[in-house]
């Protein structure tokens, strides 16, 4: 019997990609066309997909460039396409793009049917992939942008400062510091979709694997779909707990009970974490 031939939609990485889109939708983070996801493919995944690639489209310049992403392949959600529709119809709502040898342009080799294009945040994703490849020695492959309610709500009432946000989130729930020991970065309000927000975010992603976009959402990076979704989910849950506790406490952050800085240090010691010391008192 011949070995089963898997089409692109049946490949493990594509199932992980589309499942994350659906998981985010079910969380309520992807109203209308909100949010986007990209994945840097492994060489063996590209090889397995090549027989199913179509006649490539035109090269499109991105306005950003990265040496360490020359000739890479990415899976990307489509601009204007809805996360809600991804799992039911991947070929129309997501696609695979090839990056040129100069590392500054993409062309579509699969999916994004009927004239779709990569996400409007592709330049942001691309620059952030470049920074994360550098920061993690190639381990990080997933960049995920979502509009999680509680994180966005906190950006309306808290100082837009990485230290303040990180401390509030670490102290909201005991295991947060284990999930994001480096903390979270904060980008002030900016116009979405352009090179400016891409550069501002990628500056932060040299240090952090999560960045909050004020009054907009969050940007996270990780090595696989489980860890990346889990990071978004954990930060959003911590934001929800912090927001609820503030509301229960007459909007004061001076809580009757909280995790002390010594407590955070004790977790770091017992779990062998490299925490961002700048964010501890």
32's torsion region: left (phi>0), alpha (psi -120 to 50) or beta?
A: left
Q: Which of 45, 98, 121, 236 is catalytic?
A: 121
Site of interaction with ligand 2HA (CB under 6 A) = 33-36, 119-121, 145, 192-193
Least spacing, CB of residue 155 vs ligand 2HA, in Å: 14
Residue nearest ligand 2HA by beta-carbon distance: 192
Tokens at residue 12, please? 């493990």
Q: Give the nearer residue to Zn ion in terms of CB position, either 33 or 136.
A: 33
Distance CA(90)–CA(248), nearest Å, equals 43
Q: How many CB atoms lie within 10 A of CB 43?
A: 9
The per-residue DSSP string of 173-235 comes to STTHHHH-TT--EEEPS--TTSHHHHHHHHHHTTT-SEEEETTTEEEEEESSHHHHHHHHHHH
**Out of ligand 2HA, Zn ion, none, which partner does residue 11 contact, by CB within 5 to 8 A per kind?**
none
3-state secondary structure of 62: coil
Q: How many CB atoms lie within 10 A of CB 171?
A: 22
**Out of Zn ion, ligand 2HA, none, which partner does residue 33 contact, by CB within 5 to 8 A per kind?**
ligand 2HA
**Out of ligand 2HA, Zn ion, none, which partner does residue 57 contact, by CB within 5 to 8 A per kind?**
none
Residue 121 is a catalytic residue = yes
Give CA 34 to chain center in angstroms: 13
**Out of ligand 2HA, Zn ion, none, which partner does residue 119 contact, by CB within 5 to 8 A per kind?**
ligand 2HA
Q: Interaction with Zn ion in 201-230: which residues (CB under 5 A)? A: 217
Least spacing, CB of residue 187 vs ligand 2HA, in Å: 12
Least spacing, CB of residue 91 vs ligand 2HA, in Å: 19
Catalytic residues: 121
């Amino acid at each position: 019997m011949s070995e089963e031939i898997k089409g692109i939609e049946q490949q493990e990485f594509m199932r992980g990609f589309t499942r994350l889109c659906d998981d985010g939708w079910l969380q309520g983070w992807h109203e209308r066309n909100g949010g986007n996801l990209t994945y840097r493919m492994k060489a063996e995944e590209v090889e397995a997909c090549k027989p199913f690639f179509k006649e490539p489209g035109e090269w499109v310049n991105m306005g950003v460039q990265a040496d360490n992403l020359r000739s890479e392949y990415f899976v990307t959600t489509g601009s204007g396409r809805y996360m809600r529709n991804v799992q039911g119809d991947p070929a129309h709502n997501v696609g695979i793009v090839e990056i040129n040898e100069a590392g500054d342009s993409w062309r579509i080799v699969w999916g994004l049917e009927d004239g779709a294009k990569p996400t409007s945040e592709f330049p942001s994703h691309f620059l952030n992939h470049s920074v994360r490849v550098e920061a993690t020695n190639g381990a990080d492959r997933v960049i995920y942008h979502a509009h999680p309610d509680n994180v966005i709500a906190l950006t309306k009432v808290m100082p837009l400062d990485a230290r303040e946000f990180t401390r509030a989130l670490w102290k909201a729930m005991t295991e947060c510091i284990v999930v994001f020991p480096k903390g979270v970065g904060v980008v002030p309000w900016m116009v979405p979709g352009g090179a400016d927000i891409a550069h501002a975010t990628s500056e932060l992603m040299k240090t952090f694997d999560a960045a909050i976009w004020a009054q907009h959402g969050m940007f996270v990076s990780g090595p696989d779909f489980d860890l990346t979704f889990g990071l978004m989910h954990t930060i959003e849950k911590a934001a929800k707990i912090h927001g609820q506790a503030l509301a229960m406490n007459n909007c004061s952050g001076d809580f009757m009970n909280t995790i002390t800085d010594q407590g955070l240090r004790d977790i770091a010691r017992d779990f062998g974490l490299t925490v961002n010391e700048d964010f501890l008192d």
